[in-house]
Structure 1
Amino acid sequence: MRILHTADWHIGRTLSGFDLLPTQQASFAALRQVAHDQNVDAIIIAGDLYDRGLAAENAVNAVNGMMRTLNRDDGFPLLVISGNHDSAPRLATGSEWYSSTGFYLHTRLEEAFTPVTIGDTQFFLLPYFEPAMARNYFDDDQLTNIGTAMVPVIAKMVAAFAPDKKHVLVAHFFAAGSTHTGSETPVNVGGLDAVPLDVLEPFDYVALGHLHNRHAVNADKIQYAGSLVKFDVSETEQRKGVYVLDTETMQRQFVEIPQSPDFINVQGSFEHVMDPDFYHTIDTDSFAQVTLTDTEIIPDLMSQLRTVYQRCTGVDRTHGVATLVTEKPVDRHLDPMDLLGQFYDDTNGVTMTDEQRQWAADALAHVEGQE
């Protein structure tokens, strides 16, 4: 069989105030095409379909539409779990009858111990869970973190292994030795909630969600799908896409899904990044994080940048901003307007325009008239 592995869609997420849904829908359409082109037999979604538990109406409509398209319209069996960003109870609504169409959605720990068998493979769908859930299920107060809880969890799954089948674990957690990117919500503290890789050894393949970098862990049988789109400047150089697993050989192939609009990191001096000779060489319709080498204050910086980079998500500086002089002698006998003009010039490095001076003068006159 051929299985498509994806995760971390985070439908409903924004990027510095920009709506990502059109971008996510474009990536979903590309994923759907990959599923057809690769003749896959089922699709794994390893958690975090939504970006937040209480998802907005348009996000819910989008996810429902995506599930319906893949499962009902295209006929793909779906193997889906809830992640730490999903509300398990909300996501599970209606799941009692989903399996009748080949839509297997697991949101509770106990569901993970009943494998879903498709063709030559048993799939164990383990949703994101807190240690307390395992303590209650196994009645064991020693299960204080995910690392220790996974030992009896995996043991119970192994007890259900069919000897003539391959065994795939679908899960959503932080694997020991993995690396974070800036767009993930940490669910581990000091490594205590990392899952040791050796406890996963019984499985032929471990299809993970949670970390957005598909290279977060380097292991023969363990793979993060990575997020479907880029959510943070630390991901701008990453290639996003899906994995296609062949269960006969247990070999996987990465299929890239280019993002549109892309998310890029523009670097250089303000003069350089605003130079048409430079910005005509890149796609200025992309989401753009701008990293400036300048240290001086630049008035109305974001507005200026967005005349070229309309989807500018933010600005950072490689060398910081030059420190302003915090104390400066002031002639207390100056006219208020002259004092304001001097302050504006010292703060912004430019002189007030005639229009700005008139606004200030009108405001001063209004205040003085009230005294």
Structure 2
Amino acid sequence: FIQINLEAGLPILAVSGNHDSATRLATGAPWFKQRNFHLHTTLEEALVPIEFPEVQFFLLPYFEPIAARLYFEDDSIKTIGQAMLRVVQAMEEKFDPTKKHVLVSHFFVAGSLRTESETTVEVGGLDAVTSDTFTAFDYVALGHLHSKNAIKEGKVRYSGSLLKYSLSEMNDEKGVWLLDSQTMEPEFIALTPLQDIKHYEASFAELTDPVIYQSLDREAFWHFEITDRAVIPNMMNQLRAIYPYVLTVERKNGHDVVRQVTKKRAKTLAPIVVLQDFFKEMTGESLTPTQSEWLETGLTFALDTEKRED
């Protein structure tokens, strides 16, 4: 942002999304605008286009149907689809017929494909907007979904996230769309992250073998599939000592074996010992004296309550 906006003096156009606090982002809006950084967080702002010689940009932030109902003073607006139609109609009234018209927004378009890292924001499908809602625009640049291929509706496109935020995005190509303001034809520019998400299947012994791990990118975000069947104490902490950014570890085999061994052992131990073992297995550390005291007090209370109820 500093290089693009402050140093190069290029404008930045942005909207608030469903994960953002629109009120908080709006705090610096007047200051941002003076620096040619246009951050729109309200419906009122969205209806005022950002003017360029060849293009009008309409910046529509994420909003709930009630926001449109209150803004237009129209109680008939119940769904996001109805709200969007009304908003687009109001935008069309501001169209300059001599210019192209681009909408920048943050919504889920019906028929788009999700990834695991996106929050489901609809209730009963209320957030789904049909792509034909945007027919009046020459191009629609959308946020919210993390894949650039989430929808292929010609002039309606998702930029996708710049980075990968879940394993389902591991093989996705990330980057940005470069839009020609004359032809309205987008070109995708791929970006390579400093740290990528990678997958590797091996035994625990192999993953901790210097011959193996020295051949791997230890700074990557790793998803490991462990082939071992035996219980491996403090496994995650041991792996993180070698691969500091390991994300997940799954067992290719042995889920039931580990579960049965743990369950059988738990039956022979006192409840407090089971919990102490569990804490150590999860954190790699033993309970402190204070934590042990809290645990013992809680267990005593729970057992006494159970006896009284019996």
TM-score range, shorter chain: 0.7 to 0.9
Question: Matched residues in 2 for 1:146 and 1:127: separation?
Answer: 13
Contact (CA 8 Å) 1:226, 1:240: kept in 2 or not? Answer: yes
Q: Aligned-residue CA RMSD in angstroms?
A: 2.8
Q: Which residue number in structure 2 is paired with residue 184 of structure 1?
A: 118
CA change 1:295–1:138 in 2 (3 A) is farther
DSSP 3-state at the match of 1:244: strand
Among 6, 9, 12, the alignment partner of 1:78 is 12
Distance 1:224 1:331 in 2: 56
| Map of 2:146 onto structure 1 | 212
* Percentage of identical aligned residues: 46
Deviations 1:192-240 (A, max 9, x none): 3111111111111111111111111122111111111122122221122
Provide the secondary structure at the position in 2 that maps to 1:307: helix
Give the superposition deviation at 1:76.
Answer: 0.6
Q: How much does 1:273 deviate?
A: 3.6
Q: 1:131 is aligned with what amino acid?
A: P
Q: Structure 2 vs 1, CA of residues 302 and 191 (structure 1 numbering), >3 Å: closer, same or farther? A: same
Aligned residues: 272
Q: Give the residue type in structure 2 aligned to 1:186.
A: T
Deviation at 1:149, TM superposition (A): 1.1
> How far apart in 2 are the matches of 1:319 and 1:137?
57
Residue number in structure 2 paired with 1:199: 133
- What whole-Å deviation, never above 9, does each CA across 1:33-68 have from its counterpart, x for those lacking one? xxxxxxxxxxxxxxxxxxxxxxxxxxxxxxxxx3x4
Query: Which residue of structure 2 aligns with residue 269 of structure 1?
Result: 203
Distance 1:295 1:251 in 2: 53
Q: 1:304 to 1:139 in 2, by over 3 A?
A: same
CA distance in 2, matches of 1:296, 1:138: 64
| 1:124 equivalenced with 2:86 (yes/no) | no
1:277 offset after TM fit, Å? 4.8
Q: Does 1:98 align with 2:23?
A: no
Q: 266-275 or 181-190: which moved more?
A: 266-275
- The secondary structure found in structure 2 opposite 1:306 is helix
Specify the alignment match of 2:74 in structure 1: 140
Distance 1:319 1:189, change over 3 A: farther
Q: Secondary structure at the match of 2:136?
A: coil
| Equivalent of 1:166 in 88, 100, 110 | 100
- Residues 212-251 of structure 1 aligned to structure 2 (within 5 Å): 212-251=146-185
- Find the aligned partners of 1:86 and 1:292 in 2 and give their Cα distance: 37
Distance 2:151 2:171 in 1: 17
Counterparts of 1:212 and 1:91 in 2: how far apart (Å)?
Answer: 22
CA contact (8 A) 1:262 1:286 kept: yes
Distance 1:209 1:267, change over 3 A: same
Q: Structure 1 320/184 Cα, relative in aligned 2: closer, same or farther at 3 Å?
A: farther
Cα distance, 1:142 vs structure 2: 2.8
Q: Which residue of 1 aligns with 2:296?
A: none
Letter aligned with residue 255 of structure 1: I
Greater Cα shift, 252-261 or 135-144 = 135-144
Change (3 A) 1:278 1:218: farther
Q: Assess if the C-alpha contact under 8 Å between 1:266 and 1:273 holds in 2.
A: no
Shift of 1:245: 0.5
Residue 157 (structure 1) aligned with residue 91 (structure 2): yes
Alpha-carbon distance between aligned partners in 2 of 1:278 and 1:198, rounded to the nearest angstrom: 52
Deviation at 1:292, TM superposition (A): 2.5
| TM-score, length basis structure 1 | 0.67
2:225 alignment partner in structure 1: 291
Q: Which residue of 2 aligns with 1:107?
A: 41
Answering whether residue 251 of structure 2 is matched by residue 314 of structure 1, we say: no
In structure 1, what is the Cα distance between the partners aligned to 2:47 and 2:143? 19
Cα 1:157–1:295 change in 2 (3 A) is farther
Distance 2:211 2:185 in 1: 45
SS in 1 for 2:39: strand
Give the aligned partner of residue 22 of structure 2. 88
AA paired with 1:207?
A
Show CA shifts across 1:264-297 (max 9, x none).
Answer: 2223333444445544443121121222244432
Change (3 A) 1:319 1:178: farther
Give, in angstroms, the shift of residue 308 of structure 1: 2.7
- How big is the shift at 1:97? 4.2
Q: Per the alignment, in what secondary structure is the counterpart of residue 134 of structure 1?
A: helix
Provide the C-alpha distance between the structure 1 equivalents of 2:76 and 2:85, rounded to a whole number of angstroms.
Answer: 11
2:133 aligned counterpart, secondary structure: helix
In 2 relative to 1, CA 319–69 (structure 1 residues): closer, same or farther, beyond 3 Å?
A: same
